[in-house]
Chains A and B, each alone.
Chain A
Amino acid sequence: MAKKNIAPDTRVRVDTWDACVDFPIFDAKTRSLKKSVIGAAGGVIGANASNVVVVEALKNINIHLKHGDRVGLVGHNGAGKSTLLRLLSGIYEPTRGACRVQGRVAPVFDLGVGMDPEISGYENIIIRGMFLGMTRKEMLKKIDDIAEFTELGDYLQMPLRTYSTGMRVRIALGVVTSIDPEILILDEGIGAVDAEFMKKARGRLQALVERSGILVFASHSNEFLAQLCDRALWIDKGEVRMEGGIDEVVEAYEGPAAAAHVRKIMAEVKADDSTKASE
């Protein structure tokens, strides 16, 4: 993908060394689960020294990302994609091993977090930005641009509770795509807007990805992955099962048909980029 205009910033890095994330589940009965159970979905369940049930959500993760890396995550439900995103954003510190995140992280797990239904759309734009690590001043500078993007006009002065779901998503997307993160962490689930608007949002999303130093993106949409990322990690049962180009990983994960689709999109993106460059 396009990363021409960015001077590489060596300071921005995400590193993990044999990082493990174990969740203690205090209210689960330990005895019935004394023997570790390995299921197809979800992490490995075991018990720790003090006999608390533990879910090994991530095991021995070694990832080293630097400026310019755009990584997609694929894997089953419960394979540990979201947990890995939280580890890489510094929300979970590893229970074993080590993890270091250098740079300003903007994690987007849920578009609406921090939105207050009782205050106006304008206020919500500023507050949502603050949750993503911007200051009030920075958001005030961007607010006109975001307001224009949402196409909500005077409606932005109404309290958010009067908005439809689609209108809320517009605001959320408008804010998320306006920030300047050094490390952008995107979870799946951005895409419940009408198609016309999505086309517009996609352009902004791509611009955002180009601005940000590092992108880690978990998605079930191969199309999105191919458009935004250039590498992929296959997460399975809490471990990195495979890493490589998106087409290779998707081929191993979903089969040749999906990989062919990915290659087609990648070729389109490349053609798109070169026409843009020649213009």
Chain B
Amino acid sequence: MSAVVDDDAIPARPESSESRTFARAVKDLRDGLASRELWFHLGWQDIKQRYRRSALGPFWITIATAVTATAMGLLYGELFGMDIKVFLPYVTLGFIFWNFIESSILDGSEVFSKNEGLIKQLPAPVSVHVYRVVWRALIIFAHNVAIIVIVFLIFPPPIGWSAFLVVPALVLYMLNSIWVTIVFGILSTRFRDIGQLLTTAVRLVFFMTPIIWTTTSLSNATGETSSRLKLVELNPMFHYLEIARGPLLGQPVEFYHWAVVLGCTAFGWILGMLVMRNYRARVAYWV
């Protein structure tokens, strides 16, 4: 009969602080990538569940974005007296990229508390849920690509090879989406107010970011442009939108936008790794 406490074969006790190391955080991220079959499925299931038994299914994403972007483009274009040929693609693109940012922040902040059941029943890496959020945001984005195509057919933009700069921009979006989900997801699992706070903050930032207005309309409206423009420049979301929207509109994107985004990405990942190291193991306790 085998002994439960088998004295002669007990392995040496590891350092008890083992669970709070960067090595474990990195391992979690790597193991999460390895179980991609699981989060591929979970991400799809999230989308399918939302549009279950509707005839158009996930294409409601496309329709909703198209309607909102068109309405806002027409309305604000009229209000600011913009050329619709330029302004409608601008609003549509801004809106689609903003949707990606917004869903990473908001879905990311509630992903752990919403999946309490799974977390308490599966010894899966925490990052599985992180990748699931990013993957879901990507699926939604892919549905919106159809709108970009249609808008470009109606209003052909002056774009060339530089349009492909949108690819590295999207990669940066995904990298940011990962750390945002880690940081906000874990923190708002512990402090449930953070999720609510983020919902409010995100809506505010939407209006403060040039999406349904442009930096030029800002300077047209009044004489004192410099201080207002500075305020826009301080908003990191402005730079995130510029690097993705600019290439597709055929606008040259100044290097400092990329620099700001790269800086934010690096800073965010450092923050994300610190949160992963210190609180990864706490998620199961907090949900």
Contacts and interface: CB of A to CB of B under 8 A. Distances in A.
B2 A131 contact: no
B2 A107 contact: no
Contact of A98 (B13, B38, B118, B190): B13
B11 A13 contact: yes
Interface residues on B, range: 35 or more
A91 B38 contact: no
A188 interface: no
B121 interface: yes
Interface stretch (B44-52, B60-68, B88-96, B249-257): B44-52
Contact of B18 (A13, A95, A98, A135): A98
A107 B4 contact: no
B285 interface: yes
B275 to A, nearest CB: 16
A100 B14 CA distance: 8
A64 interface: yes
Contacts of B114: none
B11 A107 contact: no
Per DSSP, chain B at the interface is helix
A91 B121 contact: yes
A69 B2 contact: yes
Interface string A230-266: 1101000000000101000000000000000000000
A130 B281 contact: no
A63 interface: yes
Interface string A71-109: 100000000000000100111111111101100010101
Contacts of B286: 24
B214 interface: no
A155 interface: no
B122 A113 contact: yes
A131 B16 contact: no
A127 B39 CA distance: 11
Nearest to A82: B120
B160 interface: no
B212 to A, nearest CB: 36
B121 A107 contact: yes
A180 interface: no
A159 B53 CA distance: 12
Contact of B6 (A17, A66, A114): A66
A194 B262 CA distance: 61
Contacts of B4: 63-65, 69, 71, 231, 233, 243
A116 interface: yes
B168 interface: no
Given A96-B16, A118-B48, A86 B37 contact: no
Contact of B41 (A92, A100, A127, A243): A127
Nearest to B20: A93
A223 interface: no
Given A17-B14, A130-B41, 18 more contacts: A15-B11, A23-B285, A26-B190, A63-B5, A64-B9, A64-B11, A66-B2, A66-B6, A91-B119, A93-B19, A93-B284, A98-B15, A107-B122, A109-B120, A109-B121, A113-B117, A113-B121, A116-B45
10 contacts: A64-B9, A68-B2, A91-B123, A92-B284, A94-B16, A95-B285, A107-B122, A114-B118, A118-B53, A243-B4
Interface of A: 13, 15, 17, 23-24, 26, 62-66, 68-69, 71, 86, 89-98, 100-101, 105, 107, 109-110, 113-114, 116, 118, 127, 130-131, 135-136, 230-231, 233, 243, 245
